[in-house]
Structure 1
Amino acid sequence: MPADSPKRFNIWTPLTFSVILILGILIGFQLNKYLSNKRPISNAIERNDRLEEIIDIVNAKYVDSVNADSLYEDAVTGILKHLDPHTVYIPARDMASVTEDLEGNFKGIGVEFYILKDTLMITSVLKNGPSADAGIQTGDKILKVNDSSVIGITSESIISKLRGLEGSAVKLSLLRPSENRVLETQVKRGVIPIFSVDASYMIDMVTGYIRINRFSATTYREFMKALNALLGQGMKQLVLDLRQNPGGYLDAATAIADELIGDNKLLVYTQGRASDKEKYMAGQKGKFEKGRLAVLVDEGSASASEILAGAVQDWDRGVVIGRRTYGKGLVQEQFELGDGSALRLTVARYYTPSGRSIQRPYNKGRELYEEDFENRFRDGSLTGMDTLGPADTIRYFTEEKHRIVYGGGGIKPDIVTPYETSAYASELYELLSSSTLSNTVYEYYSLHSKEMSVYTSFRQFDASFTITPQMMVTLKSSLSKDYAVQVSKVWSDAKSLGFIQQRVRAILARMLFRSNGYYQQVNKTDNVVLRALGILRGKEYAAIVGG
């Protein structure tokens, strides 16, 4: 009966709404109980009830004026000190520089500089970059930026003046010492790459060399460009240098590992208390899965570097040479906060294919954790054989040859090469690391940049450039002002003096050919590189990993 339908609906409507309301209340009550124990991270960060209340009281009532932002940062840092050493808070003011390194570019004019006696000297000009297009040369000295003097300015201040919006212009006043004249020029800022591959070249007819300084968003692309170029030059074996590489993006490291290790092999996996096990597999035919491989590491090789070295070692794909790595096997996830800052929180651990964790212990506090390098130097780990023995670590086995490897303290190389020591080692290192040595060489280049410009390749420079006796007299005189005792010892020892001359050539090579030239020069006397070459060329390689 159609006429009765609206009446029936009116009867049932209140009852239906009542049932829905009761169910809603019950569900809401249960959900509230659940959420009180499972509060989302974003809500917890926003509330910070007690912390905010304390800061507000201090800000309002404390006897002296205080900076509330500083108090908050100190409080957050204090909280994180109770966690692992790699969970960190990044203030908003630091986010740009942190991001630039990993993203692989910034907006600027494309020069590298060095502060030489309060004056900014350009030590490298990016090829085809904004400054190169404006005619700026290595050896030029910056006097003014936009009509403001920069004599005596700090590195941080000059960087802020030279960087800016893409396409914006900056006016420079330059002194060109080799021509004894001042130039005025305008440079339009552009996108400047931050290269993560420092060097790639052929050491000999069959051995290539690639050095990676970090794993950024552009690293895999840079690596493949270098690898293809070396393969095109006849490379049959490779030295991959990861020394002093602090890590970076995991995906960049696994992508490179995929080019070196066969298909369907596990490269690394991650797992944490609140995160599921995630495997990273080799999934494509790599460009260099065959051919002898040496991976160079040291105490500065961390995180993604250790993952790559660990995968190579665990699959017996190559020989790891150098010194025990840093020992960072923790995965950080970044949480962006409302004020532009960020929290990098450790959420999982890395495990190499054999199942070992490379993270060294941090249960004795951050201070001891951060002093590890000094302790290793004192106990002889860096100048002799590694003191970390089987009792300190956990034993695992490689996948192919079932060699024993150890976890829990970084990657221990197959071949350990300690720091070189000599009768005058400490005096030599003081001179090599002194700003006086660098200043003298930079000043020489600045005055002779026109003559130096005849060298168009490292091979030509290496064959033709000679350090004159007069250059060594000038250098000795400069160093003696601050390092008289060290100079007297080093200059009396032919081997030590040879290292000084090599450093002079290396600095000049860097100014001519950027970092690629620098490493081609220093690698000639680098004991780790020389050890790697000996192993790749001899029978020792097959004895360690086969092939």
Structure 2
Amino acid sequence: MKKKFEVWLPLLFSIAMIIGMFIGYKLRGAQPNGGFSRVASSSPLDEATEIIKQKYVDSVKIDSLEANALREIMNELDPHSVYLPPAELKETTEDLSGRFVGIGVEYRIIKDTVNIMSVVKNGPSEKARLQTGDKIIRVNDSTIAGKKLSNTGVSNLIRGEKGTPVTLQILRGSQLLNISVTRADIPKPTLVAAYMIDKNIGYIKLDLFGSTSYREFMEAMERLKKEGLTELIFDLRGNGGGYMDAAIDIADEFLSGDKLIVYTEGINSPKKEYRCKRPGIFENGKLTVLVDELSASASEILSGALQDWDRATIIGRRTFGKGLVQEIFPLSDGAALKLTVARYYTPLGRSIQRSYSKGRKVYMDEIWNRYANGQAYFADSNKVNTGKQYKTPDGRILYGSGGIMPDIFVGLDTTKTSKEINKLFFNGSFNDFVYQYYIENQKVLDPYQSPITFSQQFEPGRIMWQQFVSWAQKDSTNLANISAAERTRVQNRMEAYLARFKWNDNGFYEVLNLTDPVVAKSIEFLKSK
């Protein structure tokens, strides 16, 4: 009962507030000074704000009240319409723009000390000779070591206006160094890996559809084709979407003629079709697209178009199921509304939007329920085969309204990860261990010239595992009963993380994909045709 009351409390409060405002408005003449000043052509929300501003018993932050009111209004709409405060809007814009102003390092706070985990190639920090493993003690006049700062707090100190310097005091080994770094535009790639798996099969991993994604994709494709690419694995797992135009442009590179890619339509948005408009870079080669339950929106536009036209084989698990299009509308205070303006439909007319009639929480929880009810593990549990049927040019039957169903299902490993290993992954201790191992063993790793030779020849074996067991004990975690199979999985992950420190994300995926069952299934499929 208490839980139900808590759920309905905001609505009851809003109703009471509206009734109270209405009564107060009717009785305004009886109040001192004859009521309140009213803005011409104002809405009830404007009037309520003015009443509070003029009549409330204590001082109040009107900006905060207005922001909370906007959040509640957006909560009454669909799950993807949201209010973005200025800070969140800036972060969203930076993610999608493909760049931000900074010094070009990835850092992590370990035991109240900021550790540089990687340095952006050709960025200002590399030019200033910062290195992976450096510890930041001071930023300008602010000591940050031992200060329990958040990531946001550190970022606010390091970032600034383009072209301005920031002085960092660095601990490198036992040596203290003062290094000046000039802030600059830092690229933030959305395409995180592109390499040849063998002499014919290329692999591309796209994390987000941003403003630079199409250019990054084309550059990667042109390079891989020169290296012999005739077949492609395009990995969209975990890609939550982004700019629809980027997905359309990339789809155009796979589809021929003037094929329909997607169309959008809404009550206030007339139907608009998006079609192919140029010859594509890869219209005929064998193509697989990898998806999972976190592949959403623009990822579903792309995979849905390729599936509808029988152009690609979709492999993995059912996608998120987001078939709504948002636009960002700036507000006068630097905030914005991210508002759903239309629904999108695949070329066959499928809307893959999941129902959100039971509310935002149930809608979001459905994704995590897939892990609990078996949908993420078993093909029969993962199917959405109800409602209207749609037939592809090759005669295959597809369905809508619940995400993109893969043509080939690959479930998660049914072998459960122990609570001990889960703890070390989720609290960051695993990542901290691999980082520390890398710092202490760089000379051991130096001879390896590529991620593949590293994975083939590097055998940390018993020594590294024992070090990890000892590390875990400091975190009150006992790994004595970990199975041999789980130990092997963890060691494979260790190798991939080590490769990331040496070769960045590209190296990480080259090593990780060697034991990835979805990539393995994709390779098997491509070689079987």
TM normalised by structure 2 equals 0.88
Mapped pair 1:506 → 2:496? yes
For the pair shown, the structure with the greater C-alpha radius of gyration is 1
Structure 1 residues 536 and 433: CA distance shift in structure 2, 3 A: farther
- Cα shift at 1:64: 4.3
Mapped pair 1:527 → 2:517? yes
- Cα shift at 1:469: 2.8
- Cα shift at 1:427: 4.9
Q: Give the one of 337, 342, 357 matched to 2:351.
A: 357
Aligned to 1:497: 487
Mapped pair 1:387 → 2:387? no
Q: Give the partner amino acid of 1:144.
A: R
Aligned to 2:153: 157
Q: Give the one of 323, 334, 340 matched to 1:340.
A: 334
Aligned to 1:469: 462
Mapped pair 1:170 → 2:166? yes
CA distance in 1, matches of 2:185, 2:449: 26
Q: Give the one of 393, 403, 407 matched to 1:410.
A: 403
Query: After the TM superposition, which residues 196-211 of structure 1 pair with which residues of structure 2 at under 5 Å, given as runs?
Result: 196-211=190-205
Q: Give the one of 468, 472, 479 matched to 1:479.
A: 472
- What is the percent sequence identity of the aligned residues? 45
- Cα shift at 1:386: 5.0
CA distance in 2, matches of 1:453, 1:67: 57
CA distance in 2, matches of 1:453, 1:57: 69
Q: Give the one of 415, 422, 429 matched to 1:436.
A: 429
Deviations 1:453-490 (A, max 9, x none): 444432343344331533221111111344645x2232
Aligned to 1:69: 63
Q: Give the partner amino acid of 2:83.
A: Y
Query: After the TM superposition, which residues 178-327 of structure 1 pair with which residues of structure 2 at under 5 Å, given as runs?
Result: 180-327=174-321
CA distance in 1, matches of 2:257, 2:420: 50
Is contact 2:386–2:399 with CA below 8 Å preserved after alignment?
no
- Cα shift at 1:376: 1.6
CA distance in 1, matches of 2:71, 2:379: 37
Is contact 1:139–1:449 with CA below 8 Å preserved after alignment?
no
Aligned to 2:24: none
Q: Give the partner amino acid of 1:405.
A: L
**Unpaired stretches in structure 1, ≥5 consecutive residues:** 1-45, 540-547
**Unpaired stretches in structure 2, ≥5 consecutive residues:** 1-39
Aligned to 2:102: 108
Structure 1 residues 112 and 47: CA distance shift in structure 2, 3 A: farther
Is contact 2:128–2:181 with CA below 8 Å preserved after alignment?
yes
For the residue of structure 1 that corresponds to 2:481, the secondary structure is: helix
- Cα shift at 1:282: 1.1
Deviations 1:352-388 (A, max 9, x none): 0110001111111111111111222222111222535
CA distance in 2, matches of 1:237, 1:504: 29
Is contact 2:85–2:336 with CA below 8 Å preserved after alignment?
yes
- Cα shift at 1:66: 2.7
Q: Give the partner amino acid of 1:252.
A: A
For the residue of structure 1 that corresponds to 2:488, the secondary structure is: helix
Q: Give the one of 440, 450, 454 matched to 1:457.
A: 450
Structure 1 residues 157 and 364: CA distance shift in structure 2, 3 A: same
CA distance in 2, matches of 1:137, 1:394: 57
CA distance in 2, matches of 1:511, 1:47: 60
For the residue of structure 2 that corresponds to 1:331, the secondary structure is: strand
CA distance in 1, matches of 2:89, 2:56: 31
- Cα shift at 1:451: 4.7
Aligned to 2:370: 376
CA distance in 2, matches of 1:240, 1:89: 33
Q: Give the partner amino acid of 1:506.
A: A
Is contact 1:242–1:296 with CA below 8 Å preserved after alignment?
yes
For the residue of structure 1 that corresponds to 2:514, the secondary structure is: coil
Q: Give the partner amino acid of 2:406.
A: P
- Residues 100-109 or 472-481, more deviating: 472-481
Q: Give the partner amino acid of 2:335.
A: S
CA distance in 2, matches of 1:52, 1:160: 34
- Cα shift at 1:173: 1.1
- Cα shift at 1:123: 1.0
CA distance in 2, matches of 1:287, 1:258: 9
Is contact 2:209–2:242 with CA below 8 Å preserved after alignment?
yes
CA distance in 1, matches of 2:416, 2:453: 34
Is contact 1:431–1:483 with CA below 8 Å preserved after alignment?
no
Q: Give the partner amino acid of 1:499.
A: R
For the residue of structure 2 that corresponds to 1:268, the secondary structure is: strand
Aligned to 1:37: none
- Cα shift at 1:412: 0.7
Deviations 1:79-99 (A, max 9, x none): 122211111111223222111
CA distance in 2, matches of 1:47, 1:418: 57
Aligned to 1:18: none
Aligned to 1:32: none
For the residue of structure 2 that corresponds to 1:489, the secondary structure is: coil
For the residue of structure 2 that corresponds to 1:106, the secondary structure is: strand
Mapped pair 1:117 → 2:105? no
Q: Give the partner amino acid of 1:489.
A: N
Is contact 2:384–2:402 with CA below 8 Å preserved after alignment?
no
CA distance in 2, matches of 1:465, 1:498: 14
- Cα shift at 1:515: 0.7
Q: Give the partner amino acid of 2:79.
A: P
Query: After the TM superposition, which residues 418-433 of structure 1 pair with which residues of structure 2 at under 5 Å, given as runs?
Result: 418-422=411-415, 424=417, 427-433=420-426
The number of residue pairs the alignment matches comes to 489
Q: Give the partner amino acid of 1:154.
A: S
Is contact 1:293–1:319 with CA below 8 Å preserved after alignment?
yes
Q: Aligned-residue CA RMSD in angstroms?
A: 2.0
For the residue of structure 2 that corresponds to 1:387, the secondary structure is: helix
CA distance in 1, matches of 2:139, 2:227: 44
For the residue of structure 2 that corresponds to 1:187, the secondary structure is: strand
CA distance in 2, matches of 1:406, 1:198: 31
CA distance in 1, matches of 2:57, 2:205: 55
For the residue of structure 1 that corresponds to 2:233, the secondary structure is: strand
CA distance in 2, matches of 1:464, 1:166: 43
Deviations 1:410-436 (A, max 9, x none): 101111111111155555444444422
Q: Give the partner amino acid of 1:234.
A: G
Structure 1 residues 317 and 144: CA distance shift in structure 2, 3 A: same
Query: After the TM superposition, which residues 108-147 of structure 1 pair with which residues of structure 2 at under 5 Å, given as runs?
Result: 108-147=102-141
Structure 1 residues 123 and 310: CA distance shift in structure 2, 3 A: same
- Residues 447-456 or 514-523, more deviating: 447-456
For the residue of structure 2 that corresponds to 1:183, the secondary structure is: strand
CA distance in 1, matches of 2:293, 2:337: 26
Q: Give the partner amino acid of 2:460.
A: I
Is contact 1:386–1:416 with CA below 8 Å preserved after alignment?
no
Q: Give the partner amino acid of 1:501.
A: Q
